Amino acid sequence: MTDIAKLIENTIRADVRAVGGYHVPDSVGYVKLDAMENPYQLPDDLRTQLGARLADAALNRYPVPSYRTLKDAICAKLGIPAGYDVLLGNGSDELITILATTIARQERDGSKRAVVMAPVPAFVMFSRSAQFAGADFVGVPIKPDFSLDLPAMLAAIDEHKPSLVFLAYPNNPTGNLYDAADMEAIINALGESGVVVVDEAYQPFAKVSFMDRLPQHPNLVVMRTLSKLGLAGIRLGYMTAAAPLLAEFEKVRPPYNVNILTQVAAEFALEHLDVLDRQAELLNVERTRLAAELAGLPGVEVFPSAANFIALRVPDAERACKLLHGEKVLIKNLSKMHTLLANCIRVTVSTPQENDQFLTALKASL
Cα distance between residue 86 and residue 71, in whole Å: 6
> Do 35 and 125 reside in the same domain of the chain?
no
> Do 299 and 221 reside in the same domain of the chain?
no
Mean pLDDT for the stretch of residues 222-230? 96
Strands laid side by side in the 164-168 sheet = 87-89, 237-241, 220-225, 195-199, 164-168, 115-120, 136-141
> Do 121 and 238 reside in the same domain of the chain?
yes
> Do 181 and 93 reside in the same domain of the chain?
yes
User: In the 8-state DSSP scheme, what is residue 216?
Assistant: G
Q: Is 12 a domain residue?
A: no
pLDDT at 263 exceeding the cut of 80:
yes
CATH of the domain at 159: 3.40.640.10
- Per-residue pLDDT tens over the stretch 278-303: 999 999 999 999 999 999 999 999 99
> Do 247 and 332 reside in the same domain of the chain?
no
> Do 150 and 202 reside in the same domain of the chain?
yes
Q: What is the predicted pLDDT for the residue at 72? A: 98
Q: Is 49 a domain residue?
A: no
Q: Is 28 a domain residue?
A: yes
Supply the range of the domain harboring residue 257: 56-271
Instruction: Give CA separation, 74 vs 87, 195, 239, 240, 264, in Å.
Output: 10, 23, 10, 11, 13
Q: Is 15 a domain residue?
A: no
pLDDT at 25 exceeding the cut of 90:
no
> Do 251 and 278 reside in the same domain of the chain?
no
Among candidate residues 201, 236, 271, the one where a domain is terminated: 271
CATH of the domain at 358: 3.90.1150.10
Nearest C-alpha neighbor of 310 from the set 175, 177, 148: 175
Q: Is 112 a domain residue?
A: yes
DSSP H helix total and E strand total for the chain? 14, 13
> Do 111 and 258 reside in the same domain of the chain?
yes
pLDDT at 1 exceeding the cut of 80:
no
Cα distance between residue 145 and residue 217, in whole Å: 28
> Do 37 and 82 reside in the same domain of the chain?
no
Q: What is the predicted pLDDT for the residue at 110? A: 57
> Three-class SS of residue 139?
strand
> Structural domain tally of the chain?
2
User: In the 8-state DSSP scheme, what is residue 341?
Assistant: G
- Per-residue pLDDT tens over the stretch 81-136: 999 999 999 999 999 999 999 999 866 555 688 999 999 999 999 999 999 999 99
What confidence tier does 29 reach under pLDDT thresholds 50, 70, 90? Answer: confident
Nearest C-alpha neighbor of 31 from the set 362, 365, 350, 366: 350
Q: Is 117 a domain residue?
A: yes
